[in-house]
Amino acid sequence: MTVRPAPVALALLLVSAAGGPPVSAATSASALASADRTLVDKAAAYLQALKTAQARFSQTDPRGAVTTGTFSLERPGKARFAYDAPTDLTVVADGLNVDVYDGKLKTYDQYPLRQTPLAVLLGSEVRFDKAAVVVGVSHDKGGFTVEVRDAKKQAQGKLSLRFSTGPMALTGWTVLDAQGGKTTVVLTGLRSGVPLASDLFVLRDPNPHTIKP
């Protein structure tokens, strides 16, 4: 197993994204219109109340390659991305780290959860005025997008969370990488409050005694 800090050269939704300088909570709050501030508060409350969920996902990486799979969530701290064949890839957040197993390459890597944009979604307290701060809100037909940065600069970048409004639901997100490339995840058929097995959020190195350079 290798343990690396983010960012890393992975075309994954979990890769840390480089952006500009951090934006303070005060600047973010004052820049938002009252209606947008209300939407941000609703989004935070929705995520805070989202304890378990499962959905299908479609991921488009910066090169335009599309992969699909099943997304499982147990807040706080846990998530699983099980990719469909022929992509032999599993990504698990266990509350502390993000583990990535690539069955094709036979590699197992681990990254601190706090250094990935996923930490915004999985935090024990979802607030967009402390660890994550809002730098913009945009609107589209049937929903809105909240763009946030990590205020503590542990994950230097941009994460754009998309929500539908009828009913309120998380529909996906976009991560911007250091070169300006975007990795976009679209969720479909999200079911909340579903029972999930605890072993979904455990991923161990199948070759723990392998010594890597």
Query: pLDDT per residue over 185-208, tens digit each?
Result: 999 999 999 999 999 999 988 776
Instruction: Evaluate whether the domain defined by 2-8+16-190 bears CATH number 3.40.228.10.
Output: no
CB-based contact 110:101 (threshold 8 Å): no
| Closest of 126, 118, 119, 150 to residue 44, by C-alpha | 126
Query: Rounded to whole angstroms, how far apart are CA atoms 47 and 123?
Result: 10
**What is the percent of the chain where pLDDT is above 90?**
49
Query: pLDDT per residue over 124-153, tens digit each?
Result: 888 776 666 788 899 988 899 999 876 665
User: Would you kindly state where each structural domain of the chain is located, as residue ranges?
Assistant: 2-8+16-190
